[in-house]
Amino acid sequence: MTAKIEIVGPQRINGTVHISGAKNAALPLLAASLLSDDSLTLKNVSPLVDVKTMLNLLEELGAVPHITSDSLDFQTISLKTDSIDNFTAPYEIVKKMRASILILGPLLSRFGMCMVSLPGGCSIGVRPIDLHLKGMQALGANVDLRDGYVHASAPHGLKGAEIDFPIVTVTGTENVMMAAVLASGTTVLKNAAREPEIVDLANCLNKMGADISGHGTSTIVINGVNSLHHTEHSVIPDRIEAGTYAIAAGITNGCVNLIGGDFRSLLPSFVEKMEQVGLIFTDIDNGLRVESSGHIAPVDIQTESYPGFPTDLQAQTMALLCLADGESNIQENIWENRFMHVAELSRMGANIEIHNAHAKIIGVNGLKGAPVMATDLRASSSLVLSALAANGKTVIDRVYHLDRGYSCVKEKLAGCGVVIDRIQ
């Protein structure tokens, strides 16, 4: 039997939340440890299920992690990868998380060979890895798909190339960038993703001795180097977690202090849209205060690559707009099939119409508690938000999805006066 979350609403969030290290930054950083014989020390790592999955995968390859818990939600992880003796990432581990594919570039670049199972993760669409594979081939790798595995080799090493991504790909940019770090010559990535997590990875790689420039823009230039060395690096705060708790303030007519970073720059389009909705943002020391204005205005949103509105905050925003005074529209441009939470929100009384990748949300006066089921990571957080605002008891099933990307949810909400129970 899987764990469930029980919330009796309505409840109001009021307090301070220390934002964890970003999951989407930590995963490629952990994979980057494979690029060097020297150790890599990462600070501000959140003990999420996806982080544990990546560590299990690295251990399977022969890496040795040393973990120090700085607090309940913040860890320091030192990884030694000088004794890697296995170049196969098995299906049993990779099936749990799509980001497992991020070990492809580092293994291929440093060791010249690897065999990686086709990945799994949230069921929010096809999410192909063809751009990763084409990037490796452009760098001179031999790539073959058979028996559910990617077989890749570069017996003579990788060589720099100009790669123009046909569409923006975050993990594809990260994977090819890591592969190019030890390639001979210069690699130019065009139409590269610009997310803060990519900037964080490039900054860490440069501290390890890489030569990367242009990160944060759509053109990244990587001059290959012979080797990388030890460094310490602190993972950036999780902008998606910050956005989720900001929405919690809006949907519960509450107030929350988000501590840990410059969230305006990490979430420019999100903050702009939420101000239109009626949230009030105030800069504070090392963070941002988010307050409800007491009114939720309708708004139209399109998900886009950074600096556009994040697809990872679409489900949570939809929950908020269910209570808006009027009609809102959301166009999902990143992932197909990312409206699976709509059926569960409708069970709680939401009025949502779906047509392909477009959702029309007609605001209602209130939501009602109901038994619901999390279908993916971000959908699970949208149900928690809805439950906080709903009248009556909501029981959320399959919250293992939530654990993949949110750490200490019960404790953080409890610190803001919210009663939430985790049951078996």
Q: Length of the chain, please?
A: 424
Q: Is 416 one of the annotated active-site residues of the chain? A: no
User: Contact, 382 vs 350, CB < 8 A?
Assistant: no
Rg for the chain, CA atoms, rounded:
21
| Tokens at 183, concatenated | 């390639």
| The residue to which tokens 């760098």 are assigned | 139
User: Contact, 3 vs 422, CB < 8 A?
Assistant: yes
Distance CA 337, CA 292 (A): 31
Q: Which one from 114, 122, 322, 416 is the annotated catalytic residue?
A: 122
Cα dihedral 295/299/303/308 (nearest 10): -80
Among 14, 60, 26, smallest CA distance to 405 is for: 26
| Number of helices and strands in the chain (H, E) | 15, 24
Distance CA 363, CA 321 (A): 6
What angle (nearest 5°) sits at the alpha carbon of residue 110, between those of residues 108 and 116? 30
**Residue positions annotated with a catalytic role:** 122
